Amino acid sequence: KKQKIPLLINNFKLLNNQININDSKEVSNNINNNIKYLNDNKILGSYLAGLIEGDGTISIPKKRKPQISIVFNKKDKELANYLCNILECGNVYNLSKNTVNYQIQDIPSIYKILTLINGYLRTPKYYYYINCCEFINNYIIKNKNTNNIKIKNIINQINIIDIKPLDESNINENAWLSGITDADGNFSISLLNGIRKRVRPYYRLELKQSYQINNNNNNNNIYKNIIISNTEITKKGKDIINLNYFKIMSKIATYFNVELYSRNRELNLKNNNLNETKIYYTYIIIINNIDKNIKVIEYFNKYPLLSSKYLDYCKWKEIIEYTNIYSQSSESSYNLGLEIRKNYNNTRTIFNWDHLKNLK
């Protein structure tokens, strides 16, 4: 049966059935700020993998060396600088009026990131990860007997990468979801002003359904004309690689015991004065049940967000805890939500980065 959720926009299809999971109803008041992201490669690697699979790019421009870049909203430049400092590689550039780019280009630094996130990727961007690892491995093999001092210095800093498979572990075993939530997730507080005023906090994660592989910049790539759909990657005359967004989104939905939805959105494009439209297909998870939101809190208390979304999460968590005592339909709950939304998500003008300092 299709679950009707007023917060959702048109054109949704129910994709998975609910599974009974015993959710804890106790809310933890202590966010685990003692996790040492700098010293724990499992946590840092999985977080970084999620962040890259959300807002990052792994590419090999034609006739050039590989590069890894992560685009941040300008309000999260502090996080970009933080990652640049703890990873000790790359540079942060202003990309546009509203975005900054954390870019890594030299081979030893690329190698550092590839080894750090090895075994933690969960989405079709794994394809580009493999491609980049193979570039590094081939670079070592090709230049193992070189007399070029510069290349020798590079070779001495890197090793052949043993490429690990996609991460099939449980969602709560590492910080991957925290990373991709910093990229594509959202903590919202909806105020329903009907006959009865009501506050409705919810967590939302939306990822596209299909993924187009671009092979124009790599003539040595054996994978040609590949489209990653919601079922598989196919290559004509070759094996089938099972990579898709449906699998990981279903895994997240199952973990939180919620439904997975499909959405199609039609956007008008203005191109050469022609009215063109493009349809975007995405998968969406929305968690708005108070008991299930508690499980969201348990996860993000264990694996904290690093972007400014952490600040929104803390206020979102405050609403969850308050309504768990006074109900979502109480006047005081509604007024608290009204007050929080004055400096929240897109309306936020006050930023505090103490949560990054606490992770060091």
The confidence band for 37, taking pLDDT boundaries of 50, 70 and 90, is: low
Is this structure's pTM higher than 0.75? yes
User: Do 119 and 168 form a contact (C-beta atoms < 8 A)?
Assistant: no
Q: Tell me if 1 is assigned to some domain.
A: no
User: Do 84 and 62 form a contact (C-beta atoms < 8 A)?
Assistant: no
Q: What is the pLDDT of residue 24?
A: 32
Q: Tell me if 5 is assigned to some domain.
A: no
Count of other CB atoms within 10 angstroms of residue 350: 6
- 77-106 mean pLDDT: 95
Q: Tell me if 3 is assigned to some domain.
A: no
Residue 270: give its domain's CATH number: 3.10.28.10
Count of other CB atoms within 10 angstroms of residue 242: 10
pLDDT higher than 70, residue 103: yes
Q: What is the pLDDT of residue 36?
A: 57
Q: Tell me if 74 is assigned to some domain.
A: yes
Q: What is the pLDDT of residue 271?
A: 64
Q: Tell me if 121 is assigned to some domain.
A: yes
Q: What is the pLDDT of residue 341?
A: 96
User: Exposed, middle or buried by CB within 10 Å (0-12, 13-18, 19+), for 239?
Assistant: exposed
Number of domains the chain contains: 1
- 263-288 mean pLDDT: 80
Taking 3-state DSSP, the helix, strand and coil percentages for the chain, each rounded to the nearest 5, stand at 40, 20, 40
Question: In this predicted model, which residue has the larger pLDDT, 217 or 214?
Answer: 214
Q: Tell me if 102 is assigned to some domain.
A: yes
Separation between Cα atoms, residue 189 and residue 209, nearest integer Å? 26
Q: Tell me if 218 is assigned to some domain.
A: yes
User: Do 304 and 35 form a contact (C-beta atoms < 8 A)?
Assistant: yes
Q: How many CA atoms lie within 13 A of 173 on its CB side?
A: 8
- Convert the pLDDT of each residue in 135-175 to its tens digit: 999 999 999 999 999 999 999 999 999 999 999 999 999 99
- Convert the pLDDT of each residue in 176-188 to its tens digit: 999 999 999 999 9
Q: Tell me if 303 is assigned to some domain.
A: yes
Which residues are CB-contacts of 3 (< 8 A; sequence separation ≥ 6)?
14, 259
Domain with 349 in it? 12-357
Alpha-helix runs per DSSP H in 327-353: 331-340
Maximal C-alpha separation, the chain = 79
Which residues are CB-contacts of 226 (< 8 A; sequence separation ≥ 6)?
127, 213, 215, 233, 234, 235
- 271-296 mean pLDDT: 85
User: Exposed, middle or buried by CB within 10 Å (0-12, 13-18, 19+), for 61?
Assistant: exposed
User: How does DSSP assign 60-117, residue by residue?
Assistant: --TTS--EEEEEEEGGGHHHHHHHHHHHT--EEEE-SSSEEEEEE-SHHHHHHHHHHH
